[in-house]
Homo-oligomer: A and B are copies of this chain.
């Protein structure tokens, strides 16, 4: 076992979006990712993909909240309290966000994407192309997850 206790990262770019607050959770929201000019060459070939996985730093989560280990999913007290590694909450020991987005445009060092649930100014850590190995055919999720989806359909 390696005892590497501290890992340091640098933003490779930043999110730019007009969406405010909860608007970013709308799956149709369009955002831009402004990649730092020194990393622009890393984007070569990215437009051969329809989808990307964006890793970003949840910079608004204070250090203290990184100690949270259990939450109610989506903050709803009627859903069972659950470990943070079993929910996509932003309260986690290493607050890294991960979202599948649709790539709608590339121009120089700016990507335009649909469905990125990150606030304006969020530091981006990595951009990974989405391929068939990221797709699981048959999956199982908790009952509360399916229940939330059903509720949305009824709205």
Cβ–Cβ contact B94 & A59, under 8 A: no
Q: Is residue A10 contacting chain B, with contact meaning CB distance below 8 A?
A: yes
- Which one of B121, B134, B139 contacts A2 once the chains associate, using CB atoms below 8 Å? B121
Chain A, residues 127-145, CB within 8 Å of chain B (1/0): the string is 1111111111011111101
CA distance A59 to B141 in the complex (A): 31
Cβ–Cβ contact A129 & B88, under 8 A: yes
Cβ–Cβ contact A93 & B129, under 8 A: no
Cβ–Cβ contact A125 & B96, under 8 A: yes
Chain A, residues 52-87, CB within 8 Å of chain B (1/0): the string is 010101010000000001100000000011111111
Cβ–Cβ contact B87 & A129, under 8 A: yes
Q: With A2-B59, A7-B11, A98-B128 in contact, do A85 and B48 touch (Cβ < 8 Å)?
A: no
Cβ–Cβ contact B5 & A10, under 8 A: yes
Q: Is residue A19 contacting chain B, with contact meaning CB distance below 8 A?
A: no
- Which one of B9, B80, B125, B131 contacts A145 once the chains associate, using CB atoms below 8 Å? B131
Q: What B residues does A41 contact at CB under 8 A?
A: 69-70, 83
Q: Is residue A4 contacting chain B, with contact meaning CB distance below 8 A?
A: yes
Cβ–Cβ contact B4 & A6, under 8 A: no
Cβ–Cβ contact B59 & A44, under 8 A: no
Cβ–Cβ contact A49 & B83, under 8 A: no
Q: With A1-B121, A4-B123, A39-B69 in contact, do A85 and B129 touch (Cβ < 8 Å)?
A: yes
Q: Is residue A29 contacting chain B, with contact meaning CB distance below 8 A?
A: no
> What is the minimal beta-carbon distance from A41 to any residue of chain B, in angstroms?
4
